[in-house]
Structure 1
Amino acid sequence: MDHINLLLSIGELDWVFKGSNSIETLLQNIVAMVARHMKADVCSIYLYDDKTNELVLRANTGLNPESIGRIRLRSGEGIAGSTLEQLEPVCTCNGFSHPNFKFFKDTNEELYRSFLSVPIMSGTEGIGVLMLQRKEDNHFDPADILALRVITSQLATVIENAKLIMSMKRHNQKAAPDALQKTVFNTPFVKGKSASRGYAYANAVVINKNERFRQFDRVTFPRHYTFKDFSNALTATERQLESLQKQVENKLSDAASMIFTSHLLILKDESFSGAIAALIKK
């Protein structure tokens, strides 16, 4: 088992991000990487949907691909739901005998009875579940549990950002086509999270959401900008983020630098840059 190679090599995680052109692809690359290193037959990422209060299967390798987005569990329901409810790992050599197990038809899950499920945490809050499965004769051990807990802590920031972006994408998809411009700039309110304990003092600013972007209508620019200028700006921003990431890697932990990779992915994701590009071409 090559747990240590995965836990210590953030460099290997780079190919996961650089080879992803959407949030969905990112999550799929993550489950493929974790399954390979943990020698698991199945790897799944469940993310908690705050709107429906359900865990939703968002990425998987090993089961029927049509299961993605279709499997939904309440907190406490199924092995994944139990993991989220207890915020503790669940490890069993026969998941079918687990008191909370829930079977879904046409997933091919019956082939993999050994389960290891670990909560994905954001601070003290559970935001999802990372689950592994193996065939019945290949059980998980305490070393596997420890390794998967560390892996989820490494990936938690990136997965939390992925969860946020997917939520924004679903919000955008519900909007009418003629409301595209309004949707892009009036995204759902996002509650910030404290990066460190303590107090901050600063001047208060009243934000009028109806005026946030109207100021740009009153700005006079030195020249007319084109779609090519927008593309060049995205490229320049990507380079700046990559430079910042390297600086953070040198001063802080490798894991801390992954937040910049999340920002890079946002730039590439169609729900962000694609929507803006559509407005420019309109």
Structure 2
Amino acid sequence: MQLVARCRKCGRVMKSERVDNYRVKMTCSCGFSDFRTITEKVKTVNPFYHKAGFTPFLESEKGKMVLTMQKANREHLEIISLEEISMLVSSDFDLPLVLRRVAEKVATQLKVSVCSIYLMEEGDLVLAATYGFDVSFVGKIRIKIGEGITGTVARDRQHISLTRASQDPRYKSFSELQEEKYNSMLSFPIADKQDVYGVINLNSTSMKTFTDDEIYFISIIANLILTAVKLRQKVASGNVTP
């Protein structure tokens, strides 16, 4: 699927290059570049449209109408969540507050027990925000690149989705977080084409299978977090006026 967009600096049509199954890099001859999130499988305007995944399936006409309303409501809420998170990213709030609110909104939207965000710090992944785990461990949990599922995702820059995470040979539990009680896990890299900036993790006590829609949703969130991190790095360096 070819993505057509114009440069925000000069207005020329930008070239698109797919980075992975979820992201496309847009480049312009003037030197401007940007990343867009668009999965190869989704070709509708609404990225949450192509699969409903409701159970049980109701056969009656009335039941089908209920399912249609539920689906529309879910899509509406997901779009609202993305709008709210986009506003957080572009706000002048400090990064820790932005990440904390993002974690809370994502966990609530996808109905998972835990959402945690790790950022790179001195070569390690450090817990930067969490919803569901004890917040006193923020800044204290450190994971090396390649260590456990989270470290593997950061190293390979590819997401991992598991229904029984603790049975995976790459799994490493942190006893202080009491991770052993969580079954399902989705771990997604926060990265651009050159560097990894962190990882966002979702954990669920149930044996949940994350759908393509949910993974796509998290890929958008990961890119928004990346934007938030880069923006505040530029502000801190004095290259951008807050």
Shorter-chain TM-score bucket reads 0.5 to 0.7
Report how many residues are paired.
170
CA 146–14 in structure 1, closer or farther in 2 if over 3 Å, else same: closer
CA shift for structure 1 position 90: 0.4
Q: Which residue of 1 aligns with 2:96?
A: 24
Matches of 2:142 and 2:173 in 1, distance apart?
11
Q: Counterpart of 2:130 in 1: which secondary structure? A: strand
Matches of 1:17 and 1:124 in 2, distance apart?
21
Matching of residue 124 in structure 1 with residue 124 in structure 2? no
Larger Rg: 1
Matches of 2:116 and 2:234 in 1, distance apart?
19
CA 159–35 in structure 1, closer or farther in 2 if over 3 Å, else same: farther
Matches of 1:48 and 1:63 in 2, distance apart?
19
Q: Alignment partner for residue 33 of structure 1, among 105, 112, 120? A: 105
Residues 22-65 of structure 1: per-residue CA shift (max 9 Å, x gap):
3211110111111111221100111011x2x1111100010122
Structure 2 counterpart of 1:80, one-letter code:
T
Residues 81-139 of structure 1: per-residue CA shift (max 9 Å, x gap):
01011110100011111222111122132221210011011343211101111113333
Structure 2 counterpart of 1:12, one-letter code:
E
Matches of 2:200 and 2:88 in 1, distance apart?
17
Matches of 1:90 and 1:156 in 2, distance apart?
18
| CA RMSD across the alignment | 3.0
Structure 2 counterpart of 1:44, one-letter code:
S
Q: 1:35 touches 1:41 (CA, 8 Å); kept in 2?
A: yes
CA shift for structure 1 position 8: 6.7
Matches of 1:160 and 1:77 in 2, distance apart?
25
Q: Which runs of 5+ in 2 are unaligned?
A: 1-70
Q: What TM-score do the two structures reach when normalised by structure 1? A: 0.53
Higher strand proportion (structure 1 or 2)? 2
| Percent pairwise identity | 25
Matching of residue 69 in structure 1 with residue 133 in structure 2? no
Displaced runs of 4 or more, over 4 A: 7-10, 17-21
1:148-159 alignment, distance < 5 Å: 148-159=218-229
Q: Which residue of 1 aligns with 2:180?
A: 110
Q: Alignment partner for residue 230 of structure 2, among 145, 160, 167? A: 160
Q: What TM-score do the two structures reach when normalised by structure 2? A: 0.61
Matches of 2:81 and 2:106 in 1, distance apart?
12
CA 19–158 in structure 1, closer or farther in 2 if over 3 Å, else same: closer
Q: Identify which of structures 1 and 2 has the higher relative contact order when contacts are C-alpha pairs closer than 8 Å and 6+ apart.
A: 1
Higher helix proportion (structure 1 or 2)? 1
